[in-house]
Amino acid sequence: MTILITGITGILGSELKKILPHSICPTHKDFDVCDIDVVKKLFSNQKIDTVIHTAALTSVRACEENRNRAMKINVEGTKNLVDEFKNSNPKGKFVYISTACVFAGNSGMYIENSIPYPKNFYSLTKLLGENIVNRFNDSLIIRTNFVGRKKWPYPKAFTDRFGTYLFSDQVAKEIKKVLEKNLKGIVHIAGDKKISMFELAKITTPNIQSMTIEEYTGPKLTMNMSLDSKILEKSVLEI
């Protein structure tokens, strides 16, 4: 089985490349999902059986400040892949990495059939991407929330934003398991405990400073990103 992984320089894509080493893993420089000619060329030159689409503009602030760019990457780029993969191999499998942020974040512990309600433009683009991927016959939408196993990238972390977080290497392993089970539809990959971003950040950055949403200025944020699942057993956050 030939697998194409997009976004391999990202936190999750790089982990997927490690555990699926025989996959086709082009860099953004060689494979821009927004360039339809480049996408057409790859699918015409390679017989792809599975696409794992992780490439995205994920910064909430960047998506809000440049909505055209966010639409181009997260929505049009996804559509390019779905359309050309469908032309190339309509019996293939399309795996789309979505986010817990498609939900409003008012209650948390969302399951696969909970109703999405995006709070910001980033979340909206990811939900639009889900809708596009749903058109593919054998599609798998994976909602999750994760961070890299490295130093927290900011000086502070929220004590009042929550999620069922995992590290990216754990999510990559779970994606591999899901592929082996040949699941379809929507699946949530989640940790077994709801914790704050501050608690999460302290695992890799013990001296991280705390903050609350009151100290934040910027686009609206999803406050409770915690996920539950009716399909998969939740994972223990590996410290």
> What's the rounded Cα separation, in Å, for the pair 188 and 205?
27
In 3D, which of 149, 98, 42, 93 has the Cα closest to residue 25? 42
User: Whole-model pTM?
Assistant: 0.97
Boundaries of every domain in the chain: 3-149+166-191
In 3D, which of 36, 13, 40, 37 has the Cα closest to residue 26? 13
pLDDT given at position 238: 93
pLDDT in tens, 112-157: 999 999 999 999 999 999 999 999 999 999 999 999 999 999 999 9
CB-neighbour burial class of residue 155 (10 A; exposed 0-12, middle 13-18, buried 19+): exposed
DSSP string, the chain: --EEEE-TTSHHHHHHHHHSTTSB---TTT--TT-HHHHHHHHHHS--SEEEE------HHHHHH-HHHHIIIIIIHHHHHHHHHHHH-TTSEEEEE--GGGS--SS--B-TTSPP--SSHHHHHHHHHHHHHTTSSSEEEEEE-EE-SS--SSSEEESS-EE--EEHHHHHHHHHHHHHHT--EEEEE-BSS-EEHHHHHHHH-TTPEEE-GGG--SS---SEE-B--SSSPPBPP--
pLDDT in tens, 169-181: 999 999 999 999 9
Identify the CATH number of the domain defined by range 3-149+166-191: 3.40.50.720
137, 185 contact by CB (below 8 A):
no
pLDDT in tens, 69-115: 999 999 999 999 999 999 999 999 999 999 999 999 999 999 999 99
Write down the residue that tokens 């989640």 correspond to.
190
Q: Encoding tokens for residue 110?
A: 């969302």
pLDDT given at position 223: 98
pLDDT given at position 230: 97
Tell me the pLDDT of the chain averaged across its residues: 97
